[in-house]
Structure 1
Amino acid sequence: MPLPSPEELRAARDSTVDDVVAPGLSVLFCGINPSLMSAVTGHHFARPGNRFWPVLRLSGFTPRQLAPAEQGELLSYGLGITNVVARATARADEVSAAEFREGGRVLREKVARLQPGWLAVVGVTAYRVAFAEPKARIGPQERTIGETGIWVLPNPSGLNAHWTARTMAEEYGRLRTAAG
């Protein structure tokens, strides 16, 4: 698939990407907000260099590496994807704290309705703001949403150089084990 043009990317600003969800999932992964590439393609974690799809395979969530265009297959593994903030931006730092807080409110309602076993927020900073938990760390959280546990995972963005695909896969694997 050819890369989108600069015009296509600009036009995608503030658009949304449909959730990949169903009731009763094992894990609902939650990104920060869609990239412009995701908004253009309609696929989550579509930016080249994003490590979400490789890390899902490395951690054992999927038997092979899925492409972003295959995101619908996640449902067959009991997995889904949503975002804290729905609107697409070029960078996550374009999202305000107020948007994160409102996104957290909407996310809690969505989780209460869908009742996944786990909500996995991929980005500790987004989780801290959206859930008013300024000291949260990577890993399982004490907070729950009804019966749904919450796990904060490292952000798979290629910009997150602190984590390698292998170390991310170890943390994602801990969640996979907990999810059964």
Structure 2
Amino acid sequence: MVADGLRVLFCGINPGLMTAVTGHHFARPGNRFWPVLHLSGFTPRLLKPSEQGELPSYGLGITNVVARASARADELTAEEYREGGRLLALKVARLRPRWLAVVGVTAYRAAFDDRKAQVGPQERTIGDTRVWVLPNPSGLNAHWTAQTMAEEFARLRVAAEAETEA
């Protein structure tokens, strides 16, 4: 679900097994991406994973760092992350979204060799695209609640909207 000229291109780590089967991003029940996207104000209603095709109508897109599906992100190799980061940078340079939102600080650190990155806006840009790291919405990331994740997603939404209005 990518297109030219998006406000925000969300980037997950890699497809989980449920996503691989359904073809829908963040498809596993219990993954909080879709509820958090709505709670943060990016979408006017809660979308189901099967409705991911509606994202471009909101100026949003979705992709992954690594294409290979796995049960858990910790099954990916450092080389897969590095190559995924390289390919993602090429995709972003081609599509030119205003923001790239990498969902998962560990994935961002591995893909872009930035060991000190924290959740929030990054110094790095890819062409004119700014980068924001968001918390991973997996149910395994228990120290972030849906509400605290939505607050961080909303910070990005406000920044993206302010840029649009400027």
Question: Cα offset for 1:179?
Answer: 0.4
- Relative to the length of structure 1, the TM-score reads 0.89
Q: TM (normalized to structure 2)? A: 0.97
Instruction: Identify the residue that residue 115 of structure 1 maps to in structure 2.
Output: 96
Q: Which residue of 2 aligns with 1:134?
A: 115
- 1:55 lines up with 2:46 in the alignment: no
Deviations 1:21-61 (A, max 9, x none): 00010000000000000010010000000000000000000
Tell me the amino acid that sits aligned with residue 159 of structure 1. Answer: L
Identical residues among aligned pairs (%): 79
Distance 1:32 1:176 in 2: 20
Match of 2:156 in 1: 175
**Which letter maps to 1:111?**
V
Alignment RMSD (CA, Å) = 0.3
Q: How far apart are the structure 1 equivalents of 2:15 and 2:116?
A: 25
Check if 1:64 corresponds to 2:42. Answer: no
Structure showing greater radius of gyration is: 1
By how many angstroms is 1:124 displaced? 0.2
Equivalent position of 1:86 in the other structure: 67
**Is 1:154 aligned to residue 135 of structure 2?**
yes
Amino acid at match of 1:67: K
- 1:98 pairs with one of 54, 57, 79: 79
Paired AA for residue 132 in structure 1: D
How many equivalent pairs are there? Answer: 161
| Offset of residue 137 of structure 1 | 0.2
Tell me the secondary structure at the aligned position of residue 132 of structure 2: strand
For 1:145 and 1:178, how far apart are their aligned partners in 2?
17
Gap regions ≥5 residues in structure 1: 1-19
Structure 2 alignment gaps of length 5 or more: 162-166
Aligned to 1:45: 26
Question: Using the alignment, how far apart are the partners of 1:57 and 1:29 within structure 2?
Answer: 14
1:13-24 mapped onto 2 (5 Å cutoff): 20-24=1-5
| Counterpart residue type for residue 166 of structure 1 | Q
CA distance in 2, matches of 1:178, 1:170: 13
2-structure distance, mates of 1:41, 1:79: 20
Runs (4+) of structure 1 exceeding 4 A deviation are: none
- In 2, the alpha carbon distance for the partners of 1:153 and 1:126 equals 10
